[in-house]
Amino acid sequence: MTAAINNGPTKFIIVRHGETIANRDHILQGWMESPLTENGIQQAKRVAMYLKNATFSVAYTSDLSRAVNTIQEILKFHPDIPLHLEPALREWNLGILQGQYNDVLWEKYPDMMCAFRNEHCSPDIPGGEKRSEFQQRITDIFRTLAERHPGETVLICTHGGALQRIFRMVTGLLDINNVLPASTNTSVSEIQYLHDKHKWQLLCWNKADHLTGLKLNELFTA
């Protein structure tokens, strides 16, 4: 007898990492490491409580420590869920921009920095990824995970820039006059892949009610 094929949607619960020292100080991180602040740790604990009763079968995270430390807080309530470190979920590799203050970068490289605000700005970043390469990396890993986990719910922890690429993957190109979406540290977004239709669907974006009373960094700092 042939086993039934599960064609149910793959749902993704996607969490941005907690606030880091670089986020707090408005330093562009990219692939640079920066530890969570005390506020970031509290944010991770809050999202962990928010997702305490959520159901998912597997967890994947960027291998950068800010994402790993955030998802580990969540999985304290889900000790039996396997966790996989996935480099493809990393932030945008920002080359020469990494480790510099945002205000300095806007003065020195305004054409590069506009890429965080507008989809139609797409400069090459010396030493880093093209945005098209970043987009392809994120699209490829989500397609792979959707195919690997049909009918399942998958927990993801990643970065603000990656979330912009996820939004683009699901919704398409924004109008030239519109600003790219931001995401708060440890906000929760949800998407799903409909296998029978071969299409993505946005379920919710940037839910942050669980962070009431904590300091939020609204600026996009990768």
Domains and CATH numbers, the chain: 18-211 (3.40.50.1240)
Mean pLDDT of 107-116: 90
pLDDT reported for residue 3: 44
Q: Higher confidence at residue 21 or residue 120?
A: 21
Mean pLDDT of 32-47: 98
**Count of Cβ atoms closer than 10 Å to residue 21 Cβ:** 14
What mean pLDDT value characterizes the chain?
Answer: 93
> What's the sign of the alpha-carbon dihedral 220, 44, 10, 194?
negative
Dihedral angle, C-alpha 200, 206, 208, 214, nearest 10 °: 140
CA atoms within a 13 Å half-sphere pointing along the CA-CB vector of 59:
24
pLDDT reported for residue 123: 81
- The CA distances from residue 165 to 10, 17, 210, in Å, are 18, 16, 24
Q: Higher confidence at residue 160 or residue 216?
A: 160
- The CA distances from residue 138 to 23, 84, 161, in Å, are 22, 16, 10
38 is catalytic: no
Please answer whether residues 24 and 39 qualify as being in contact, where contact means their C-beta atoms are separated by less than 8 angstroms.
yes
pLDDT reported for residue 5: 61
91 is catalytic: yes
Q: Report the distance separating Cα 125 and Cα 152, nearest Å.
A: 37
Please answer whether residues 198 and 54 qualify as being in contact, where contact means their C-beta atoms are separated by less than 8 angstroms.
no
| DSSP secondary structure letter of residue 199 | E
Mean pLDDT of 197-206: 97
pLDDT reported for residue 17: 98
Mean pLDDT of 3-12: 79
Spot the catalytic one: 86, 91, 119, 152. 91
* pLDDT of 2 strictly over 50: no
pLDDT in tens, 64-88: 999 999 999 999 999 999 999 999 9
pLDDT reported for residue 6: 73
pLDDT in tens, 138-191: 999 999 999 999 999 999 999 999 999 999 999 998 888 888 998 999 999 999
Residue 86 φ then ψ, to 5°: -125, 105
The shares of helix, strand and coil residues in the chain, as percent rounded to the nearest 5, are: 35, 20, 45
* pLDDT of 205 strictly over 80: yes
Mean pLDDT of 197-221: 87
Least confidently predicted of 3-17, 28-42, 200-214: 3-17
Mean pLDDT of 22-28: 96
The closest alpha carbon to 193, from 169, 172, 173, belongs to: 169
| DSSP secondary structure letter of residue 92 | P
Tell me the two tokens of residue 184: 């708060």
Q: Report the distance separating Cα 21 and Cα 39, nearest Å.
A: 10
